[in-house]
Amino acid sequence: MRRSLAIAIILTIAASCSGQSGDSTTTSVTTASTTTSVATTSTMPFAPGAPGIGDSYYPGLGNGGYDVQHYDLDLAYSSDGTVDADVVITAVATQNLSGLNLDFVGWEVNDLTIDGAEVAFLRDGDELVITHRIPSGEHFKIDVSYGGTPQPMQSAAIPIEVGWLVGPESEQFVVAEPDAAHSWFPANDHPLDKATFSFAVTVPTGLTGVANGELTEIAEDDATTTYRWSMDTPMAPYLATVVIGDGWQIVEDPVSTEEAGVPIRNVLPSDLVDDAPAALAQTGEMINVLEEAFGPYPFDRYGIVVVGGFQHALENQTLSVFGRAMVDAPFFEYVHIHEIAHQWFGNSVSVAQWSDIWLNEGFATFSELLWVEHLHGVGAYREEVANRTQAARVAGYGPPASPPPDELFNGSVYIRGALVLVALRDEIGDDVFFETLRTYTERYADGNATTVDFIAVAEEVSGRDLTGLFEAWLYGQELPD
Ligand code: ARG
Ligand code: ZN
């Protein structure tokens, strides 16, 4: 039962979903003259930033020419379902810019300024195209006021609606992986451009407004309450979330907090406050198991928020969103550890290109196997591996390293992706294998990595040429023996 349930979860998740960067040169004064080169930071001409960051699967995502440092999001939600919003984006130019793009779709833009000055902009599909001259290396603030009734969007990567969703109890929640951050705030919408975030969520008093990170203030006004949240560790825009629910409670879990040494708080509708599944109390134990395998937990808190009207779970940074059906399911504990594992694989170490999604899903699915091993021993781990190998064979999963762009979260990415790690563990042994994982999470913490980067770490730590193994498991059509 344990085994078939565990398989059921990944199949549920899978079926349902059937750079730039860097600082530029140092500051100096750039004159308006471009004919004579004065002591400018860059002698390059002023040109618009690229409309995409260079993702081969989703070329429109992200933008070039600047690096976002911080998003300060202010959202006022009214009971009629409308949202009045403002975002201040602090960024630095990485080239001499004559203009730049933000990714943004839907909504009404009411006002747009850069460093306080009105600037010209136009909307072109999913791009907000801004004309403004900014010398390389200069810091600037873009302030966008916008509003309307939030609309979900169709993801290019999965056949479901993503973005700002509304549940049966009018709960509002954001699930944005991989391409829907820009459907609820203007963003450089690609994991290559991480930034810190602050959120002010204003709701009619009685509702609870939640976002990533730490709750820093609850301020009551006449009929509204503002919840302020702060995410101080860099975050990919797709992992940002806001959730609004009626009468929900922010519940501390002192036992898990004590066990894991990381503050654990969950955000729950009232019936779950007294009657949560037993595995929710195992958050601390799960974090400990994963810290042993992956290295220190990468953020300063964790918890889940549970919403209706959503069939999946998503690992939003420090605050995974769970559909109620997932929490009520008998296999909840496996989804729970899966989303916790994503805090290392996906959130702290993010993909540099979406085609490498197995680096998220394969590793998170592998954590389910580690949980089986923790609870029932290595024999049970072996049985579980055999079951999943069989499932992968029956399904005829192709290579996990290149899923179709319109089926990014296919079963191979999850199941065969996890089996890649099983094969690597068998090949190089436990000590070297877990040292490889810990070296990788440490080296790429708060950054991005590629499949090539992971292979390089495995070869470095093991001192072996692992080309054959990775070729066969990641790129070969047939599932290796
Ligand atoms: N990354 C999620 C997981 O934990 C699933 C992503 C697919 N669903 C979505 N709404 N983007 O497996
Ligand atoms: Zn996952």
Torsion of CA 266, 268, 270, 274, to 10 degrees: -50
Q: Is the CB of 315 under 6 A from ligand 1?
A: yes
Does ligand 1 lie within 6 Å of residue 175's CB atom? yes
Name the residue with the closest Cα to ligand 1, atom 9: 177
Q: How many Å apart are CA 407 and CA 18, to the nearest integer? A: 6
Which whole-number Å values give the CA distances from 419 to 62, 124, 386, 414, 426, in the listed order? 31, 42, 10, 9, 10
pLDDT score, position 41: 57
Map out the domains of the chain with their CATH numbers: 349-475 (1.10.390.10)
Quote the pLDDT of residue 213.
98
pTM recorded for the entire structure: 0.92
**Atom nearest to 313 CA in ligand 1:** 4
DSSP symbols for 378-405? HHHHHHHHHHHHHHHHHHT---TTS--G
Mutate to test the pocket of ligand 1, among 409, 412, 414, 415 (most ligand atoms within 8 A of CB): 409
Distance 478 CA to ligand 2 centre (A): 23
The tokens for 293 are: 């395998």
What is the torsional sign of CA 19, 23, 25, 30? positive
Res 383: pLDDT: 98
339 in ligand 1 pocket by Cβ < 6 Å?
yes
Nearest to 333 by CA among 378, 375, 295, 381: 375
* Ligand 1 center from residue 472 Cα (angstroms): 26
Distance (Å, whole) CA 452 – CA 457: 9
Can you give the pLDDT at residue 402?
87
- Give the containing element (helix H, strand E) for 200: strand 195-204
Angle at 317 between CA 316 and CA 323, to 5 degrees: 25
Contact 364, 315 (CB under 8 A): yes
Measured from the Cα of 320, ligand 1's closest atom is 4
Q: Closest residue (by CA) to atom 8 of ligand 1?
A: 17
Q: Which of 234, 184, 238 has the alpha carbon at shortest distance from 53? A: 238
Q: Each residue's pLDDT tens digit in the chain (481 positions)?
A: 333 334 434 433 443 333 333 333 333 333 333 333 333 556 799 999 999 999 999 999 999 999 999 999 999 999 999 999 999 999 999 999 999 999 999 999 999 999 999 999 999 999 999 999 999 999 999 999 999 999 999 999 999 999 999 999 999 999 999 999 999 999 999 999 999 999 999 999 999 999 999 999 999 999 999 999 999 999 999 999 999 999 999 999 999 999 999 999 999 999 999 999 999 999 999 999 999 999 999 999 999 999 999 999 999 999 999 999 999 999 999 999 999 999 999 999 999 999 999 999 999 999 999 999 999 999 999 999 999 999 999 999 999 998 999 999 999 999 999 999 999 999 999 999 999 999 999 999 999 999 999 999 999 999 999 999 999 999 999 999 8
pLDDT at 481: 84
Q: Which atom of ligand 1 is nearest to the CA of 176?
A: 11
Cα-only R_g, the chain: 23
